[in-house]
Structure formats: structure tokens, C-alpha cells
């Protein structure tokens, strides 16, 4: 059976996220949304607590189907509880790190939940991402182990250390709370990100009275664009909401973001992220940013058969692993590096490589 279109519900969701309330009202007048479709999209896009908050704030929650209003309220209540537990565990983890002389740099959610949202239950936190200086990795992992954060099975740990740029550490809970310890923002060899520069430009961040660091806002927006690419342009829009808050702040300069993307060798990948976000949120990113980080015509031609007409999507079947590898290859900054990159991907899990723990200072 052919699945019914959810374009109407997608447009309603986008109207809420953008605060386009007259457009939202017109869409509601045209047709009542299918509750299950609207709820599914809010969940897929990972913005359900934010959607509930904006609808309640605008006084439009009663205009929604009762099932939508009740379910969004229940999901937001669970987000409140989940975030309380996660933040409690985070405080314990930060205490352990700071006592060991390790000052982490908060990435994405932990930072933005404390700056961009009116209430801590308006945004989901799946885990806690922390960037650690290379020389602090051993001290970081030892401190978190003493504080209760476990380790992965050896084969999984080796996989992350060989082929990734972060290591997840689970806290047994209940519920389980993961710290993701990063030593870079992307895989070595794919992009030219210097973690030392991120720390040099970092700003102070206070988390429940604890003084740590956060990324410079221009670095963070560049990272969010690159992060959108590494998730293959999927529907998780909470990062887009984060980005909109950042780029709307006084003094924000898109030119500095573009400079950073050029420096990182991430213009092709992030340029496609900009194209996607301008399709979904045309008022949130200026056309000048797309001009500064253009996608080459040949890349547009090679990805054209995969383009989606859905209001939320850039590409068809972007969860398919072969499609992901194709997009990654087409958006490689230097096309001549594609063969070497593919060979590296095939070999990387079979050939031992020095892990960041082996190359960091004891």
C-alpha cells in the first residue's frame, strides 16, 4: 500500500519551527493534520519538546488535534526528566574532570541548552559531547572511569580509536548516560581541523557553577554545518534550531564561518549543508553564505538524480549506506583524494593504527 503524503504535516512543522504563525493558521484552516504523521515527524526531526513549547507559547496548542497536544506534552515531560538525570550525571563527570585538572570544551547540546533555550526541557540531550585536549586524554579517561563511566568491549573500543574521532563512554545509570569524548571534530585525513585552534578561540561556559569551555560561535556554526553533512543531511532539525539562534546573535559574521570552512577543507560538504538548510529554512541562512561556500556545478549534476522533492529532505534514501558513501565521495574536497580515501576506509578496521591514546602525552 502506498504511504500517504506527509507534506502538509511537514509544512505545519516547519511553520512552527520558524514562528510563521499566519502561515501555520492558514495551513490548519486548509486541512487538519493527520496526528500520527505530525507526531512522527516531530519525533524524527528531534524537535518535539521545542514544538510543544512554541505552540504553547503562541497559544495555538488548543488548535491542534487533542492527540497531538497530549502526546507532545507527555514527550516534553519525559524530556524534562531525562535531561535532569543527564545533567546530574554531567555535573558529577565535570567534577571528576576538573579535579583531575582537565578542562573540557562542551560541544553542541550541553553548551546550547545553557545559552539558547528558555527552559532546559525545550531541547533533547542524547548524550554529552566533550572535546578534550590531546595531552589530557589519559587523565580524562582515568578520571571518568573512577567516577563510574565504563568502557566499551575491546573490539568496539579499538574500532572507535582506529577509525573515529571520539570514544563513547557509558555510565550504567539507571538510566544510561553516555559521554562522548572527542579529540577532534572529524576523522583525521578527511578535514583539516586543528583542535588546538578551537581551544585558542574557546569561550568560558558555566554549567551549574562549574567553569568549562565552549566553542567560539563561528567555529560552532561551521561545526554544525559539517555535522549535518556527517549525518548525511538527515531530518534531525534541533541542530538547525541551535544554528538559527547562533546566527541571529548580535555581531555574528557569516564571513568568519566561511573562512573557517575554507581553512578546514570543508567547503564542498558544508556547502551542500547550506543548500539543504536554505531549502528547508530559507530565511535562516543568507544567500551570501551560499555564494561564499558554493557547491560546484559538477557536484550538483552528480547528486541531481538523488534530489528529493519532500519539504524536509535534500536527498532520497539518505539512510542507505551506499548512497551515503556516494555522497561522501562526491563531496570530497579534493576529488583526486577519493581513491585513497576509499582504500583507507576498506583497510582501516583491519590494519592496526596508532590510537590517540598511544600518541598523547602520558
Please write the tens of the pLDDT for every residue from 120-131: 999 999 899 999
Matching residue, cell 550504567: 172
For residue 103, how many other CB atoms are within 10 A of its CB?
18
This prediction's pTM: 0.93
pLDDT in the model for residue 214: 98
pLDDT in the model for residue 338: 85
Q: Which residue has the higher pLDDT, 144 or 151?
A: 144
Contact assessment for residue 202 and residue 213, using Cβ atoms and an 8 Å cutoff: yes
The DSSP call for residue 188 is: B
Mean pLDDT, the chain, as a whole number? 92
Nine-digit cell string for 81? 526528566
> Is pLDDT of 3 > 60?
no
What percent of the chain is predicted at pLDDT more than 90?
80
In the three-class reduction of DSSP (H, G, I as helix; E, B as strand; rest coil), residue 317 is classed as coil
> Is pLDDT of 140 > 80?
yes
pLDDT tens per residue across span 243-290: 999 999 999 999 999 999 999 999 999 999 999 999 999 999 999 999
pLDDT in the model for residue 193: 95
Could you tell me the CA-to-CA distances from 196 to 110, 200, 238 in Å, in that order?
21, 6, 27
* Cα separation of the two ends of the chain: 60
Local confidence band at 358 (pLDDT 50, 70, 90 cut-offs): low
> Is pLDDT of 1 > 50?
no
What percent of the chain is predicted at pLDDT more than 70?
93
Stretch (H or E) spanning 128: strand 128-131
Local confidence band at 156 (pLDDT 50, 70, 90 cut-offs): confident
> Is pLDDT of 159 > 60?
yes
Q: In the predicted model, what is the mean pLDDT of residues 142-157?
A: 86
pLDDT in the model for residue 2: 39
Amino acid at each position: 500500500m502506498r504511504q500517504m503524503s506527509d507534506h502538509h504535516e511537514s509544512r505545519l512543522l516547519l511553520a512552527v519551527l520558524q514562528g510563521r504563525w499566519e502561515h501555520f493558521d492558514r495551513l490548519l484552516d486548509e486541512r487538519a493534520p493527520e496526528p500520527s504523521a505530525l507526531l512522527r515527524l516531530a519525533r524524527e526531526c528531534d524537535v518535539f519538546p521545542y514544538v510543544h513549547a512554541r505552540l504553547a507559547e503562541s497559544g495555538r496548542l488548543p488548535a491542534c488535534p487533542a492527540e497531538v497536544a497530549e502526546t507532545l506534552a507527555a514527550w516534553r515531560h519525559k524530556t524534562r526528566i531525562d535531561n535532569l538525570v543527564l545533567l546530574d550525571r554531567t555535573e558529577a563527570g565535570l567534577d571528576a574532570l576538573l579535579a583531575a585538572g582537565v578542562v573540557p570544551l562542551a560541544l553542541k547540546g550541553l553548551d546550547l541548552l545553557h545559552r539558547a533555550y528558555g527552559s532546559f526541557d525545550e531541547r533533547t540531550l542524547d548524550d554529552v559531547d566533550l572535546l578534550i585536549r590531546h595531552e589530557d586524554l589519559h587523565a580524562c579517561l582515568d578520571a571518568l572511569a573512577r567516577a563510574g563511566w565504563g568502557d566499551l568491549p575491546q573490539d568496539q573500543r579499538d574500532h572507535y580509536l582506529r577509525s573515529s574521532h571520539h570514544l563513547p563512554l557509558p555510565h550504567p545509570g539507571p538510566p544510561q548516560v553516555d559521554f562522548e569524548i572527542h579529540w577532534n571534530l572529524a576523522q583525521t585525513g578527511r578535514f583539516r581541523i586543528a583542535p588546538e585552534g578551537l581551544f585558542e578561540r574557546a569561550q568560558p561556559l558555566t554549567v551549574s557553577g562549574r567553569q568549562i569551555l565552549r566553542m567560539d560561535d563561528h567555529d560552532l556554526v561551521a561545526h554544525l554545518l559539517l555535522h549535518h553533512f556527517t549525518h548525511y543531511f538527515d531530518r534531525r532539525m534541533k541542530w538547525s534550531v541551535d544554528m538559527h539562534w547562533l546566527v541571529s546573535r548580535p555581531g555574528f559574521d557569516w564571513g568568519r564561518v566561511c573562512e573557517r570552512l575554507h581553512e578546514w577543507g570543508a567547503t564542498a560538504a558544508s556547502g551542500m549543508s547550506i543548500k539543504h538548510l536554505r531549502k528547508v529554512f530559507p530565511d535562516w541562512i543568507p544567500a551570501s553564505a551560499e555564494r561564499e561556500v558554493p557547491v560546484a556545478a559538477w557536484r550538483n549534476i552528480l547528486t541531481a538524480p538523488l534530489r528529493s522533492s519532500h519539504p524536509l529532505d535534500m536527498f532520497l534514501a539518505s539512510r542507505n549506506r551506499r548512497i551515503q558513501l556516494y555522497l561522501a565521495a562526491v563531496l570530497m574536497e579534493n576529488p583526486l583524494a577519493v581513491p585513497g580515501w576509499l582504500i583507507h576506509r576498506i583497510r582501516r578496521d583491519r590494519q592496526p593504527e596508532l590510537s590517540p591514546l598511544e600518541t598523547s602525552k602520558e
